[in-house]
Amino acid sequence: WKLVDLYPSSFGRLRVEKQTKDSVTFSWSFGRYQLRVWHSPFRLEILCEQEVMLNNQGTECTLNFILRATCCAPSGPSSIGADLCLHGFRHVYGLPQHADNLQLRDTRDGEPYRLYNLDVFAYPLYSRLGLYGSVPLMVAHKPDRTLGVFWLNASETFINIQYSDHQVTFVSVLRADPQTDVHWLSESGMIDCMVLLGPSPQQLFAQYAQLTGYQALPPLFALGYHQCRWNYIDEADVKSVDAGFDRHSIPYDVIWLDIEHTDGKRYFTWDPVHFPEPAKLQQHLEKKNRKLVIISDPHIKVDPSWSLYCEARDRGHFVKDREGQIFKGSCWPGESSYLDFSSSATRAWYSRCFGLDKYKGSTPSLFVWNDMNEPSVFSGPELTMPKDAVHCGDWEHRDLHNLYGFYQHMATVEGLITRSGGLERPFVLSRSFFAGSQRLGAVWTGDNVANWEYLKISVPMVLSLSLAGIAFCGADVGGFIQDPEPELLVRWYQAAALQPFFRGHSANVTNRREPWLFGDEVTAAIRTVIQQRYSLLPYWYTLFHQAHTSALPPLRLVLVLSTVQIYPNCNLLSPQGTADGELYLDDGHSFRYRDRKAFCLRRFSMLSGRLLCRPASEEGTFDCNTVIQSVTILGVKSKPSAVIVHASGKEIWH
């Protein structure tokens, strides 16, 4: 165990409070916090003002682990685990990704929560089985404290939860000393567990971001509406859909292409019949300030006549099997090999593949979607890679399974940044993720179904992701599988417009689903929703700036909200008639905000009938033509006798 000081120096230095032959007590924050550690048997407890917040219950580091028959660990069965008791807490959250309630459930009546990235088509609801991504962060909350436990392990992990008041009675609700017992169990690795002490939700988010990274600031277009389908047939189809949005006055920013745009499922290629002039297609969209996103999966078609496959094979960029041969599995192209993204050399090579000189037909307005990167192996156990496959440095796949998609995401992001000479912000969506994926881009909830229950579950799923630092997230509008009825489609648009990532997507076996195909009434309703989303883009962009700088998620639970905010086009006042908020502006696409401080951050505050606008940062140097067009104040009890506007200390309008 290790103490990592994530507090400012004003909290005081860590010091040894007491030491005996069996134990040692540390203190910090001027003695407010203490850590007591005993070495035989090993146990610890963390105290705040002499009250125990967390301790371990008989931690064992050599628990037996049952391996699946399809895999054989060379070093024999092994695992690591820890039992932690969270004192005073009866609510815990986090551990995405699961299609389940926001509050984690007591597991004594069923399966534990599982963190193991898998390709799960039409995933079951209210299940503790692993889905596409894993973030081993648990957040416990009560009115006066928020506490986090970050279990840094990328192997298959199970978490059991037991609430002391699992059987709720009148007496248990009144208990002053609830507790939550948590058992962590991972197949391999070492115990690397970090406790985040908060005490506020905002402080906990910042502490976690210091460990794993802050949310990347996306380009502004990425916060608009995205239109996707598996698959738009050809260039004419793409242009027709693009024109349809104009014809029906529905704003959108990005149109997407799935696997069929390639030449025989060979990524970094284009179908010569259906997409013969991809650069011209992108230029056609770019004239309207719109972008194209294409899919790029981690499996590479085994094709000795394909130069990219041969280059990856000859340079040793593929994962190997336990016999030392190139691992082969089945996916969309048929027989495929899988890039070993755990290798920095492979990531660098893959990044260079996105260069305009190598990726023929690409332009700077082309962005990327990493799919099937759990990784998905149709012929593998649980549709994934065998645990005994071997990565760079002789690491077995079991040791880093949950990191595979994270590493592809990292390589893709670096490729787009390098493509622009380090000037432009990338946009990359990934289906698989791990702790820290927030600093790379966006994720989504995967292959959902077009019914009301999946719409309902999308809310706790994206909230859980937000609590775990993955702020840029959303669910496919309308459901990826099956056909939504018109009412469901409209309601889904209305819900998804209030989620960070906003994309309509559907499978190739479903009916076409462009917003204007369901009659004038549905078209008008969807148009209104998307237009409202665009009217709030300055607000969304400001929220992402806050996530990027302070780790506050754009999508927030009530427990996170501590102030009433003013934001563009939608003003909220507290009952006392006060409010406070910010507006962030920059060029919307480059790293100039970071490298040259080219941004503008303004603070708005309402107090005693006066609305003030002033600089919120002394660093910003961004000049723009943005103006305040109107100020709307709702709920005013009596009409004001006068409205006076001042600028730079001078009265300019009365």
Type of residue found at 346 = T
Could you give the CA distance from residue 179 to residue 550 in angstroms, rounded to a whole number?
30
Q: Which residue has the tokens 């660990």?
A: 73
Told to judge if 181 belongs to the known catalytic residues of this protein, a careful annotator would answer no
Cβ count within 10 A of residue 102: 14
Q: Which residue has the tokens 């380090």?
A: 422
Sign of CA dihedral 340, 341, 345, 350: positive
Could you give the CA distance from residue 203 to residue 197 in angstroms, rounded to a whole number?
8
Among 432, 435, 448, residue whose Cα is nearest residue 95: 435
What is the DSSP code (8-state) at residue 529? H
- Rg of the chain on CA atoms, in Å: 26
Specify the DSSP element, H or E, that contains 307.
Answer: helix 307-314
Could you give the CA distance from residue 291 to residue 379 in angstroms, rounded to a whole number?
35
Q: Measured at the alpha carbon of residue 94, what is the angle toward residues 469 and 101, in degrees to the nearest 5?
A: 125
Could you give the CA distance from residue 7 to residue 77 in angstroms, rounded to a whole number?
39
Q: The tokens of 586 are what?
A: 């920059």
Could you give the CA distance from residue 245 to residue 224 in angstroms, rounded to a whole number?
13
Those residues with Cβ within 8 angstroms of residue 511's Cβ, 6 or more apart along the chain or in another chain: 483
Cβ count within 10 A of residue 362: 23
Which residues sit opposite 352 in a β-bridge? none
**Residues 163, 106 contacting (CB under 8 angstroms):** yes
**Residues 146, 199 contacting (CB under 8 angstroms):** yes
Catalytic residue among 119, 242, 371, 414: 371
**Residues 196, 204 contacting (CB under 8 angstroms):** yes
Q: Measured at the alpha carbon of residue 492, what is the angle toward residues 462 and 504, in degrees to the nearest 5?
A: 80
Given the DSSP bridges, would you call strands 42-48 and 33-39 parallel, antiparallel or unpaired? Answer: antiparallel
**Residues 170, 152 contacting (CB under 8 angstroms):** no
Catalytic residue among 374, 396, 414, 514: 374
Residues 474-502: b if buried by 16+ CB within 10 A, e if exposed:
bbbbbbbbbbbeeebbbbbbbbbbbbbbb
Specify the DSSP element, H or E, that contains 184.
Answer: strand 179-186
Distance of CA 8 to the CA centre of its chain: 27
Q: Which residue has the tokens 């004192």?
A: 87
Told to judge if 17 belongs to the known catalytic residues of this protein, a careful annotator would answer no
**Residues 162, 107 contacting (CB under 8 angstroms):** yes
What is the DSSP code (8-state) at residue 381? G
Length reported for the chain: 654
Could you give the CA distance from residue 507 to residue 482 in angstroms, rounded to a whole number?
8
CA dihedral of 614, 616, 618, 624, whole degrees rounded to 10: -70
Given the DSSP bridges, would you call strands 254-257 and 291-295 parallel, antiparallel or unpaired? Answer: parallel
Q: What is the 3-state composition of the chain as percent helix, strand, coil, each rounded to the nearest 5?
A: 25, 25, 50
Told to judge if 374 belongs to the known catalytic residues of this protein, a careful annotator would answer yes
Catalytic residue among 447, 476, 514, 582: 447
Residue numbers annotated as active site: 371, 374, 447
